[in-house]
């Protein structure tokens, strides 16, 4: 079994509850943020380092409209955007401002985007486009 203790500690640091894969997340208003994609978080930690993984979790958990369910697709999408755009990672507050303008929970609920490679790719495009509007408005579509 793979050691996931670092990922568990990071999730706990951001008060994210880890639930089993097959368990449905509780989406009540007062429920804590939850995730089952702990292996994905561990891969991000191992591959990209603790600072990058911290930035990913910070961005997802610090915005006002944060989703109750942190999906694998959302972790991967935010990680990819921050990796491809180092200036966004260095100016995390501005990145969070851009992320704040996306109704991630509503979008995931309406479109059914919960997991999978296509979901990660769709979220990555949406997040990158919105972030570009903040970082480089002349390049945004």
- 69: β partners: 34
Smallest Cα–Cα separation from 126: which of 57, 87, 80? 80
Euclidean distance between CA atoms 121 and 94, whole angstroms: 22
For 84, the enclosing helix (H) or strand (E) is helix 72-84
Supply the pTM of this predicted model: 0.85
| pLDDT at 117 exceeding the cut of 70 | no
From the number of C-beta atoms within 10 Å of its C-beta (0-12, 13-18, 19+), residue 137 rates as: exposed
**What is the tens place of the pLDDT at every residue in 39-48?**
999 999 999 9
Residue of 55 and 31 predicted with greater confidence:
55
The per-residue pLDDT of the chain, averaged, comes to 84
Q: Which three-class secondary structure state does DSSP give residue 115? A: coil
């Amino acid at each position: 079994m793979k050691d996931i203790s670092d990922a568990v500690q990071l999730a706990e640091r951001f008060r994210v509850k880890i639930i089993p894969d097959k368990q449905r997340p509780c989406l009540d208003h007062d429920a804590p943020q939850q995730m089952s994609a702990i292996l994905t978080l561990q891969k991000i930690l191992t591959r990209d380092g603790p600072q990058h993984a911290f930035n990913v979790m910070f961005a997802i958990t610090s915005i006002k409209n944060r989703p109750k369910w942190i999906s694998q697709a959302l972790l991967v999408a935010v990680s990819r955007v921050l990796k491809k755009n180092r200036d966004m990672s260095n100016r995390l507050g501005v990145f969070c401002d851009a992320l704040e303008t996306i109704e991630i929970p509503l979008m995931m609920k309406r479109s059914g985007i919960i997991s999978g490679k296509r979901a990660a790719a769709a979220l990555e495009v949406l997040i990158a486009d919105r972030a570009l509007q903040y970082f480089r408005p002349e390049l945004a579509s």
